[in-house]
């Protein structure tokens, strides 16, 4: 989710069960944190995925897909399954009955693993005074509802909420460099719930989120753009348009004699880019984009240096293998419209010139034409 354009991600997890599976639980967290990525599809909704490896994933446009570490705030919640260690069932139940939960927390696997830096690195947990949330007999309320079966599972705080905001240290205040600062105002269990062998937990966060007013941002952006000479020079370059000439706008091809027309860059400073595209009538009566099969244009694209001229050659050449001598009737005269687009190398401004090309069967007085 986003608040004032700051990203906040909630990750609901269920890690490996059983007392001895501490390493597997640590690995579960590590896998989720390293491999979860985000993508924004065409629908505009934020989606998540977990890859099979920790390799960097790329989006369709080639950019790196955002990861959990890129978010401004992360909240991990769920059944992490960390248990109490080095304590017997009888000892744990005795402390529970006396509500000495602070003593029990000394045997909490999760806190021990976090202190050792083996899991949930960089995340923290709010202080809590609620009883262990596992394991209860269903539909049995109160502390007397803990498991008393033959297995006698030791109570534990399996269900937790951990978080990480933008702060590098606890004393850092909210700012544009530290956009999300979080504090916990409530962290408790729902002991009245009896439909599960777990008790759900709830956590209430207070957030300070740095916000940039869009109007202020646009104003500052305008001030930077108008005062920066380098930026102004680049903007002027985007508007720069080299003057160019096209030697003709009407061409008649006769027989297979090549026809050459010229593109001249009249600018003394800026290079010019050219691109020639074609359009010809189709059998359906509509115009189709692209050069007709009977016309060869070379070169169709290129760059013209300042003050220089490029010669473009047009020649009849049926790509389907029909020779000129085999043409008859209506096929002996063909027409196409060329568009010559001229732009600057760094310019966003363009100018198009139209050139009509007709192909007629006949004899040419000269073997090669230049205009």
**Which has more pLDDT, 76 or 170?**
76
Residue 15's pLDDT is 98
Choose from 95-99, 214-218, 329-333 the range with maximum mean pLDDT.
Answer: 95-99
Q: Which residues pair with 304 in a beta bridge?
A: 272
What mean pLDDT comes out for the span 205-221?
88
How many percent of the chain have pLDDT more than 90?
59
Q: How many CA atoms lie within 13 A of 212 on its CB side?
A: 14
C-alpha dist (Å) from residue 291 to 20, 39, 319, 330, 337:
73, 40, 11, 19, 9
Please, which residues have CB within 8 angstroms of residue 59's CB and are 6 or more apart in sequence?
39, 65
Question: How many residues are recorded in the chain?
Answer: 371
pLDDT band at 59 (very low <50, low <70, confident <90, very high): low
Report whether pLDDT(325) > 60: no
Q: What is the pLDDT of residues 101-160, one digit of tens each?
A: 999 999 999 999 999 999 999 999 999 999 999 999 999 988 999 999 999 999 999 999
SS3 292: coil
Average pLDDT value over all residues in the chain:
85
Structure-token pair, residue 100: 């000495």
Task: Return left, alpha or beta for 233; rule: phi > 0 is left, psi -120 to 50 is alpha, else beta.
Answer: alpha
DSSP SS3 for 44: coil
Residue 19 φ then ψ, to 5°:
-55, -45
The domains found in the chain, sorted by start residue, are: 2-43+60-209 (3.60.10.10), 244-370 (2.60.40.10)
Q: pTM higher than 0.75, yes or no?
A: no
pLDDT confidence bin for 332, thresholds 50/70/90: low
Q: Can you read off the two tokens belonging to residue 46? A: 């934020």
In angstroms, the CA 220 to CA 279 distance is 47
Residue 8 has pLDDT above 70, yes or no: yes
Print the SS3 string covering 267-299: CCCCCEEEEEEEEEECCCCCEEECCCCCEEEEC
Distance CA 277, CA 354 (A): 10
Residues 176-196, mean pLDDT to the nearest whole number: 95
| pLDDT at site 61 | 59
Q: What is the pLDDT of residue 367?
A: 42
pLDDT for 195 beyond 80: yes
Average pLDDT over residues 268-272: 88
Cα gap 138→147, rounded to integer Å: 9
Q: Which of 62-66, 67-71, 318-322 has the highest mean pLDDT?
A: 67-71
Task: Please say if the pLDDT value at position 45 is more than 70.
Answer: no
The answer, yes or no, to whether residue 327 has pLDDT greater than 60, is no
pLDDT exceeds 50 at position 271: yes
* The pLDDT of residue 234: 72
Name the band, by pLDDT with cuts 50, 70 and 90, for residue 249.
very high
- Rounded to an integer, what is the distance from CA 143 to the centroid of its chain? 49
């Amino acid at each position: 989710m986003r608040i004032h354009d700051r990203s906040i991600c909630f990750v609901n997890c269920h890690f490996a069960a059983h007392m001895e599976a501490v390493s597997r639980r640590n690995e579960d967290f590590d896998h989720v944190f390293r491999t979860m990525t985000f993508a924004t599809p065409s629908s505009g909704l934020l989606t998540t995925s977990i890859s099979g490896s920790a390799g960097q994933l790329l989006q369709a446009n080639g950019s790196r897909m955002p990861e959990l570490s890129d978010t401004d705030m992360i909240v991990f919640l769920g059944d992490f399954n960390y248990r109490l260690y080095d304590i017997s069932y009888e000892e744990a139940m005795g402390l529970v009955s006396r509500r000495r939960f602070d003593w029990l927390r000394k045997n909490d696997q999760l806190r021990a693993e976090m202190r050792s830096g083996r899991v949930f690195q960089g995340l923290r947990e709010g202080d809590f005074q609620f009883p262990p949330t596992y394991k209860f007999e269903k539909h049995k309320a109160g502390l007397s509802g803990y498991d008393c079966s033959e297995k006698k599972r030791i109570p534990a705080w399996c269900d937790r909420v951990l978080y990480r905001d933008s702060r590098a240290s606890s004393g850092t205040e909210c700012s544009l460099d530290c956009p999300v600062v979080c504090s916990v105002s409530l962290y408790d269990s729902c002991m009245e719930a009896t439909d599960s062998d777990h008790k759900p937990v709830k956590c209430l966060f207070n957030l300070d989120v740095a916000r940039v007013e869009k109007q202020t941002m646009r104003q500052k952006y305008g001030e930077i753009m108008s005062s920066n000479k380098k930026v102004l020079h680049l903007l002027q370059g985007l508007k720069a348009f080299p003057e160019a000439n096209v030697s003709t706008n009407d061409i008649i091809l006769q027989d297979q004699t090549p026809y050459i027309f010229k593109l001249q860059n009249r600018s003394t400073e800026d290079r010019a880019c050219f691109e020639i595209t074609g359009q010809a009538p189709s059998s359906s009566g509509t115009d189709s984009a692209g050069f007709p099969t009977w016309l060869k244009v070379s070169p169709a694209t290129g760059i013209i240096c300042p003050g220089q001229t490029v010669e473009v050659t047009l020649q009849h050449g049926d790509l389907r293998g029909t020779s000129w001598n085999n043409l008859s009737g209506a096929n002996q005269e063909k027409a196409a419209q060329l568009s010559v687009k001229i732009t600057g190398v760094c310019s966003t401004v363009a100018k198009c010139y139209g050139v009509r090309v007709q192909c007629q069967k006949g004899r040419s007085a000269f073997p090669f034409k230049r205009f």
